[in-house]
Chains A and B, each alone.
Chain A
Amino acid sequence: MDWFPVWLSVRVSLAATALTLLGGVPLAWLLARKVPRLKDLLGAVVVTPLVLPPTVLGYYLLVLIGAGSPIGRFFESLGLELAFTWRAAVLAAAVGSMPLLVKALQAGFEGIDPRLEQAARTLGHAEWSVFWRVTLPLAWRALVAGTVLAFCRALGDFGITLMVAGSIPGRTQTLPLAIYDLVQANRMHEANLLAAMTIVAVLVLLLGVGRIARVRY
C-alpha cells in the first residue's frame, strides 16, 4: 500500500483551503457590500466553477497556466513550475472550493446588522479594524461552515486536478485520483480501504470542528 497520496492530499487540501480563505474572504466581503453592478457580475463569475464540468474547467486552467502560456512562462522563470506539480493541485482544489466558501461567507456578512458596524465606526475604528473586530467575528459561523465545505471540496477534487496536475504517482496523484486508479486496476480492496479511511477521517474532523466552533452542518 502506497501512502503518498494520503499525505499529498492532506497537504494539498490544507494549502488550498488557506488559499481559498486568502482570496475568498475579501471577495465575499466585497460581494456583501453595496457596489451593485460589480456585485452582480462578480457574483456570477464566482459560481462558474460549479457550473462547468470539472475536467473542462481543468483543461481551461491548463491552457491558462501550462508551459506555453504567459502565466506558465512567468512562474517558470521564477523557478516555480505550476502545471503538473503539487502547486497545480493546490490551485485546482482552490478553484473548486472558492464558490462554496464565498457564497457561505457572503450570506454570513449580509446577515450582519449594519448598525453594529456603524457603531464601531462612531467609536473611532478604522474600516480594517471594524472588519477584523466586528464583521468577521459576527460572521464566524458562516466562516467556519464555508471553510469546512471548502476543505471537503478540496480534499475530494478529481476532475480539475486530473487535468492540470495529472495523475502522476509519487508526485501529483492525490487521494481521489489514487482511489480511481485502484478501481480501474481492479484492486478493489485497497480502493475500498482508502475510501473508507477518507470518510472516517473527514467525519471525525467535521464532528471535532462542530464541537469546537459550535457549528452544525
Chain B
Amino acid sequence: MARRGVLLAVVLSALVVVTGASAAAPRVRLTVYAAADLAFALKEITAAFERTFNVDVILVLGSTGNLAHQIEHGAPADLFFAASDTFIDRLVERGAVLRETRAIYAQGRIVLATARSAGTKLTDLRQLAEPRVRRVAIANPLHAPYGKAAEEALRRAGVLDAVRPKLILAENIRQALQFLQTGSADAGIVALSVAGVPEIEWVPIDPALHNPLNQAVAVVRRSAQPDLASAFVQFVNGPQGRSVMKRFGFVLPGEP
C-alpha cells in the first residue's frame, strides 16, 4: 500500500541523510569551554588569537557547573575557563584537567544594579530592604559563584533576611541581568563584566563584603594540543588579552 511505502521512504531517507552527515574542516582547531560571564570578553580575545596563531577557536559557553560535568565525562574541550576556582580544583582532583596548568585568570567583581525602569539608582545594599524595591535578581547561590558572592554581601551588609523574600534566583549571572533588562526585577546583584548594558545603572560593591571570586583556568587532560591551549591562556593573561579583560571588568589579584 502507498502509505507503507511513504513510511518506508521516510525512514530510509532519514537514515541516508544521517549516514551522510559528518564533521568537516581539518584545520587546527582549539575548543575553549568558558563560563557564560566571559562571553563578551573572550569573543574579542579569540578573534585576535585566531589572527595571531592562524587557527580556529571554537568557543563553547555555558554554566560552569554544566561544563565541568561535561569535561569530567569526556567533552572535547582543550581548555576550561571556569567562573570559580573550586570547579577547577575539583576537576584537578578527579584527573580531568592538568594540575600544572591551573592558573587564576581574573578576580570577579559584583555590582549593585538598578533597572532604569525602576526609578532612582540605588547606591547602598541596605536600600534593597526599602519597600520601593519589590524584586531583587541574583544568580542562584547554590551553584552560581556570583550568586554565592551576592548572598554573602547581603548577609554582611545585614540585610539578607529582609531581602530574602524579594529574591529572584536566576540560573546564571546573565539571566539575572536579563531579569533587570526586561524590568522583571527592580534591582539586583550582577557581575561587573556583564553590567555594561544600557537598561541598568550600577555602583560597585565593596569586595571586602564577599569571599574573593577567583576565576581559574586549566588545560583539559584529553586535549590533543596542550601547548596551543597553554598559548591561549598566556595570550589571555598577556598584554593584548589583559587590556580586553580589564575593559570588561576582569582584573587579576593585585591589579589596580
Query: A20 CA to B129 CA in the complex, in Å?
Result: 53
Given A143-B7, A169-B58, A171-B23, is A18 in contact with B14 using a C-beta cutoff of 8 Å?
yes
Interface contact B60-A184, CB-CB below 8 Å: no
The stretch of A39-47, A58-66, A194-202 that contacts the partner chain: A58-66
A85 to B21: give the CA distance in the assembly, Å: 11
CA distance A140 to B11 in the complex (A): 15
| Residues on A with beta carbons closer than 8 Å to the beta carbon of B24 | 170
Number of interface residues of B (CB under 8 A): 33
Q: How many residues of A contact B (CB 8 A)?
A: 39
In the assembled complex, the Cα of A67 lies from the Cα of B72 at a distance in Å of 9
Give the Cβ gap from A6 to chain B, nearest Cβ, in Å: 13
**A contact residues around B17 at 8 Å (CB):** 11, 14-15
Give the contacts of A109-157 with B (CB-CB under 8 A): 132, 136-137, 140, 143, 147
Inside 8 A of A166's CB, which chain B residues have their CB?
A: 60, 70, 75-76
- Cβ of A97 within 8 Å of any chain B Cβ, yes or no, is no
The answer to whether A184 and B36 have CB atoms under 8 Å apart is: yes
CB contact between B69 and one of A68, A132, A163, A184 (< 8 Å): that residue: A163
In angstroms, Cα B62 to Cα A18, docked, is 30
Interface status of B61 (Cβ within 8 A of chain A): yes
Q: Is B1 an interface residue (CB 8 A)?
A: yes
Q: Which A residues are CB-close (under 8 A) to B31?
A: 168
Report whether A68 and B73 are in contact in the complex, using a CB–CB cutoff of 8 Å. Answer: yes
Within 1-44 of A, Cβ neighbours of B (below 8 Å) are at 11, 14-15, 17-18, 21-22
- Known contacts A137-B4, A169-B60, A186-B197; is-contact A18 B73 (Cβ 8 Å): no
> Quick check: is A83 within 8 A (CB to CB) of the other chain?
yes
Which residue of the partner chain A has the closest CB to B222?
A67
Residue of B14, B60, B76, B222 touching A17 (CB-CB under 8 A): B14
Judged by a CB distance under 8 angstroms, whether A49 is at the interface is no
Q: How far is the CA of A18 from the CA of B18 in the complex (A)?
A: 10
Known: A15-B18, A169-B58, A171-B23. A84 touches B7 (CB 8 A): no
Chain B residues near A169 (CB-CB < 8 A): 58-60
Chain B residue, CB-CB nearest to A86: B21
Q: Is the interface of A mostly helix, strand, loop or mixed?
A: helix
A-B pair count, CB < 8 Å, reads 87
Q: Given A15-B15, A15-B18, A184-B39, decide whether A168 and B74 contact each other with a Cβ distance below 8 A.
A: no
Would you call B174 an interface residue if the criterion is a C-beta within 8 Å of the partner chain's C-beta atoms? Answer: yes
Q: Which residue of B lies closest to A66 (CB)?
A: B73
Contacts of B174 in A (CB 8 A): 184
Contact with B along A47-75 (1 / 0, CB 8 A): 00000000100010011001110001000
Are B70 and A67 in touch, CB under 8 angstroms?
A: no
CB distance from A38 to the nearest CB of B (A): 26
A90 in the interface (beta carbon within 8 A): yes
- Say which residue of B15, B40, B60, B76 sits within 8 Å of A167 (CB atoms): B60
Q: Which residues of B contact A68 (CB under 8 A)?
A: 73-74
Please indicate the chain B residues that have their CB under 8 angstroms from the CB of A190 in the complex. none
Scan B73-104; emit 1 where CB is below 8 A from any A CB, else 0.
11110000000000000000000000000000
Q: B10: CB under 8 A from chain A?
A: yes
Asked if A18 contacts B36 (CB within 8 A), the reply is no
Contact indicator A72/B58 (Cβ below 8 Å): no
Flag whether A162 is at the interface (Cβ < 8 A): yes
In the complex, the answer to whether B74 meets A140 with C-beta atoms within 8 Å is no
- B247 within 8 A of partner (CB): no
- By a beta-carbon cutoff of 8 Å, the part of chain B in contact with chain A is 1, 3-4, 7, 10-11, 13-15, 17-18, 21, 23-24, 31, 36, 39-40, 58-62, 66, 69-70, 73-76, 174, 197, 222
Please, could you name 12 A-B residue pairs with CB atoms under 8 Å apart, sorted by A?
A: A11-B17, A15-B18, A18-B14, A18-B18, A59-B69, A63-B73, A84-B75, A163-B69, A170-B24, A170-B58, A185-B39, A185-B40
